[in-house]
Chain A
């Protein structure tokens, strides 16, 4: 037997079982994945309900209207529970107890207007964000302000002492000077732009959306400038629940439910 043939034989003896093993592994993995994806919800949620931790102290996410618990997060939880085919069960928590409740299994999910926190990813698995609560620049349509680079020489209205105030001070270190007009409330800053007393306002997106609902005739330009992703948290160890949640949330995005809920509350 010559050397080349011998080498080919050895290669075949090594590669053939490896390839066969790979095919077997992929087949089994695919089967498990398929079965897992179609696992009955009762196996994923053994309490036969979606136990949702909410913080009722943060309107418009969750709050009491009289005796009724209402808000964006409440509607979202109900929509998700319906998509999963189980009832929603609300567990009222303060911020301090949210992640502890998730950790000890008191709740399946947290839907509490929470921002994705990189420091919590060891415990929590976050869904795709359903809202960006970051800062936005608003100007009149003709104002032409859509970034900090458009601001030099212009007037920027904002709420005194807010995140927007801190951000504007950072911008002042990066671009040529502009004038900051601090107001006691964010709505005053938006009024200033609408009435032509400022060129742009910097406010958080929830304030902006609520203001624009109240002033539907105002022709404006709205530009997101920072990102604060608001998402749903499930336990990092409950991968099946997380995957089921992702699928349900995706279907709510696709059929327009999320947009409808955002329009309802913001």
Chain B
């Protein structure tokens, strides 16, 4: 028994010291440095000669506030006075009636501080609004008609909260793709009904708001395809479904792919000037409301079949802005897809960006900056072949 007593005398201090060590370690961990802050600057204004210029950002998934601020500063310095940004309903109202505005407040606060306007894209359905999911496959893009009212209420709350900085709302995204319509058959009449339900409450919340019908995906999918529907056919069907009174402008997605910006449009071809075909359909239906190109651009991945070289990308993008300025007076904004990604994808999406993940500006950023400042020269940026 003596030895037990001695053992206890030796073990007890060791146990106590271990406990102290664990407690100390836990306390030290509790004293982590505060995350870097991003205090607001004195209010800024955008200095630009090209009011059409806009850029699509990806800030909603950005964790660090200083990166949001840095992105928006660089947008201002580039000479774009407007950004397009996605504000997912599922992020903000993940519980019915309980709004978490923290991240959207951050973005809007810094955008306003930099003198930028925001075109907000609304979408992504919270779990509670997707209906009974026991026997039904749903995604974040599944919006049952009985939830249209809840979506309208959220959108109206958003419009009221950010009036002044956000005066343009895009309702949904590319509803002519099955993926964007909850993997259901696309339904122009259903989308027209959604616009109708949203329109009045949002206008009551912010009388200056402009509701933009969603940009359609440029695609040649024929009627009945499980993947989607040709954007020209979809827009025509949208008007036939009576959607015209329920949007104030049309958002358009138009990509150049491998074609130069001045290539003629054609129904069976996807290129930058496809917007002219969409506009023709609007006019056929007596609609002369403005167009907002909320996604456009070229990709310069070295191997993707839909990409061009970085040199072509710079030349095509600048020519596209010149073309739009010269020929399209009803195009209010042209937003380049996209400014920066929060993290690299290690694939072709990285090659749509204007600045790297590390904020290093790509030559296209510098070229757009010079264009917006009106100091573009004819100097060639690259050497002739050896």
Contacts and interface: CB of A to CB of B under 8 A. Distances in A.
A182 B3 contact: no
Interface residues of A, number: 41
A114 interface: yes
Contact of B360 (A160, A169, A184, A207): A169
Contact of B356 (A58, A116, A166, A197): A166
A182 B317 CA distance: 19
Contacts of A7: 3, 7
A188 B385 contact: yes
A161 B305 contact: no
A211 interface: no
Interface in A170-191: 170, 181-186, 188, 191
Contact of A182 (B304, B343, B364, B382): B382
B3 A228 contact: no
A181 B382 CA distance: 8
Nearest to A95: B347
Interface of B is mostly: loop
B296 to A, nearest CB: 18
Given A95-B349, A114-B347, A204-B302, A185 B309 contact: yes
Contact of A57 (B300, B306, B356): B306
Contacts of A186: 302
A196 B365 CA distance: 32
Interface string A90-123: 0000010000000000000000011111010000
Contacts of B314: 160-161
Among A161, A195, A204, max chain B CB count under 10 A is at A161
Contacts of A6: 3
A162 B310 contact: yes
A70 B244 CA distance: 47
A117 B347 CA distance: 10
B348 interface: yes
Which of the four size classes fits the interface of chain B? 20 to 34
Contacts, number: 91
Contact of B383 (A57, A63, A170, A181): A181
A59 interface: yes
B385 A161 contact: no
Nearest to B381: A160
A186 B343 CA distance: 26
A183 B385 contact: yes
Contacts of A4: 3
A165 B310 contact: yes
Contact of B3 (A3, A163, A207): A3
B385 A184 contact: yes
A7 B55 CA distance: 76
Nearest to A203: B302
A83 interface: no
Given A115-B346, A160-B381, A165 B363 contact: yes
Closest 7 CB pairs of A and B: A161-B310, A115-B346, A3-B3, A160-B382, A184-B311, A161-B363, A192-B386
Given A117-B345, A184-B382, 5 more contacts: A61-B303, A183-B386, A184-B385, A188-B383, A192-B386
